[in-house]
Chain A
Amino acid sequence: MELFILGAADSMVVAVGSSLVQLAGFLVLLALLGKFAWGPIKKVMDEREQLINSEIDDAEARSKEAKRLKEENDRILKETQADISSMMENAKLQAKKEQESIISDANQRANQLIQDAKSDIDREKQNAIQEINAQVSEISVLIAEKMIRKEINADDQKALIEEYLKEAGSK
């Protein structure tokens, strides 16, 4: 045991007991702190670390989702705009077609009306001429009757005048 004396001074001895007490005391301290202090501290700090990690993950996921939604919205908007412009184009074409058909219809009907009117006028003219002819012959007979004061059969006279008139008309 003398070998282990520190400092080789007579008054100093190796207090093995102190050493054992320190050893046991430190181990007991470790055990107690492990149970009463380190457990809760580690738990809380780990929990916080996990919480922060999961929050960051969540935020990243959310921003990714938001980006995806924005892209989708843009895509839908573009599609809708394309749809609308094509619909407008179609509507314009349709309207033009309708306009043209309406105009041609109207033209056709106008022509028809003009045609009808013309033929009506022709017919009426023909009728008028015939009537005038008839009246002229009667009037001529009356004039002739008065002029020659001669008793002639009205019918013979009429036939005679018509003959003259025809001759005159054919000239």
Chain B
Amino acid sequence: MEHGSPLFELELFGLPIIFELSTVLMVVISSLVTFLIFALMARNIAVRPTGRVQIALEILVNFVRGMITGNMSWAQGGKFHFLALTLITYIFVANFIGIPFMFAAPDEASTLWWKSPTADPTITLTLAALMIIMTHYYGVQERGMGDYVKSYFEPTWWMAPLKFLEEFTYNLTLGLRLYGNVYAGEILLTLLVTLVMSGSIIATLGFIPMVVWQAFKVFISGIQAFIFVMLTMVYISHKISADH
């Protein structure tokens, strides 16, 4: 079950900049879907709730608010509300988008075009890096450079190398957890689909596990989006609050 990847290389200042076209495509599609979901949901929003769509939207908004207030005071965390909301929705959409169907081109390498963008480690690590860098930015902004640097030498000075290393492991674990879950799910789903498509008698037995696995993947998509945002908020609260 090897799928090829459509690569596109661009020379910039002598360095090769490689685009994986399917990932780029799916990132754009996921972003569009996320935007459309929100734009449509927020279209008829009113002070007095007008319908189920608004109720659903507000449940989501308040749910994300609860995730933030669970980690830090609202005075500090209020400005991350929108970021967390966008992030959780985007990651859920990105995880989910590979579940209903996938598309592999009928060429020799069976190039995979339609998939979850989060099944690509580059994407998840990029998001994770963006979040971790942001925690450092807000850490400096909220506590000042002095306290920020001092936090590496707490509780004792020889913790500093570990603390420094920790920042990179945060990035790796945050990104790879998401990637691993989504990628593994897609591989198993691909296998089950191949089994169903094989046309043998056993194939009919593969249909029910496939449906079950799809349902479980929907669950995993939500859980992983939740975990990603939750951990981001935990890291932010570690950086911006003086006491741990």
Q: Does B19 lie within 8 Å of A29, measured CB to CB?
A: no
Asked if B42 and A18 make an inter-chain contact with CB atoms under 8 angstroms apart, the answer reads no
> Distance (Å) between the CB of B190 and the closest chain A CB?
17
Assess A14 versus B18: contact at CB under 8 Å? Given A34-B82, A36-B39: yes
| B34 part of interface (Cβ distance < 8 Å) | yes
Query: Are B31 and A26 neighbours in the complex by a CB distance under 8 Å?
Result: yes
The answer to whether the Cβ of B56 comes within 8 Å of any Cβ in the partner chain is: no
B153 to chain A, nearest CB (A): 29
- Identify which of B45, B47, B57, B117 contacts A22 (C-beta below 8 A): B117
CB distance from A8 to the nearest CB of B (A): 13
Q: Which residues of A contact B85 (CB under 8 A)?
A: 38
- The binding surface of chain A is classed by DSSP as helix
**Residue among B20, B28, B42, B45 having the largest count of chain A Cβ atoms under 10 Å:** B42
Q: Is the CB of B130 within 8 A of A18?
A: no
- Please give, as numbers and ranges, the residues of chain A lying within 8 Å of B17 by CB-CB distance: 16-17, 20
Q: Please give me the residue from chain A that is nearest to B117 by CB atom.
A: A22
By DSSP majority rule, is chain B's interface helix, strand, loop, or mixed?
helix
Is B181 interfacial (CB-CB < 8 Å)? no
Q: How distant is A37 from chain B, measured CB to nearest CB, in Å?
A: 4
For the complex, is B120 an interface residue (Cβ under 8 Å from A)?
yes
Q: Mark B121-143, 1 if CB is under 8 A from A, else 0.
A: 11101110010000000000000
Q: Are B42 and A19 in contact (CB under 8 A)?
A: no
A45/B61 in contact, CB under 8 A: yes
Using an 8 Å CB-CB cutoff, how does the interface string of B11-27 with A read, 1 for contact, 0 for none?
00001111110011001
Please name all residues of chain B whose beta carbon is closer than 8 Å to the beta carbon of A18 when the two chains form the complex. 18-20, 23-24, 27, 120, 122-123, 126
The distance in angstroms between the C-alpha atoms of A33 and B37, with both chains bound, is 10
Q: How large is the interface on A (under 10, 10 to 19, 20 to 34, 35 or more residues)?
A: 20 to 34
A22 touches B126 (CB 8 A): yes
Contact A21 to B38, CB < 8 A, known contacts A40-B45, A44-B45, A45-B58: no
Q: B90 an interface residue at 8 Å Cβ cutoff?
A: yes
For residue A39, which residue of chain B has the nearest CB? B42
B31, A38: Cβ atoms closer than 8 Å: no
A13 at the interface (CB under 8 A from B): yes
Q: Are A22 and B127 in contact (CB under 8 A)?
A: yes
Interface size class on chain B is 35 or more
Contact partner of B35 among A22, A33, A48, CB < 8 A? A33
Cα A22 to Cα B7 in complex, Å, equals 16
User: Do A17 and B19 touch across chains, with their CB atoms under 8 A apart?
Assistant: yes
Q: Is A15 an interface residue (CB 8 A)?
A: yes
Q: Does A41 contact B (CB under 8 A)?
A: yes
Q: State whether the Cβ of B202 lies closer than 8 Å to any Cβ in chain A.
A: no
Instruction: Kindly identify which residue among B38, B46, B117, B127 contacts A36, using a CB–CB cutoff of 8 Å.
Output: B38
* 28 sample A-B contacts, Cβ–Cβ < 8 Å, listed by A number: A1-B15, A6-B122, A14-B18, A15-B7, A15-B18, A16-B18, A17-B24, A18-B19, A18-B24, A19-B125, A21-B27, A22-B122, A22-B127, A25-B27, A25-B28, A25-B31, A26-B130, A29-B34, A29-B90, A30-B86, A33-B39, A33-B86, A37-B35, A37-B42, A41-B42, A44-B46, A45-B61, A48-B47
Given A15-B23, A38-B85, 6 new contacts (CB under 8 A): A16-B18, A17-B18, A21-B28, A23-B126, A26-B127, A36-B39
* Chain B residues at the A interface, C-beta cutoff of 8 Å: 7-8, 10, 15-20, 23-24, 27-28, 31, 34-35, 38-39, 41-42, 45-47, 57-58, 61, 82-83, 85-86, 90, 117, 120-123, 125-127, 130
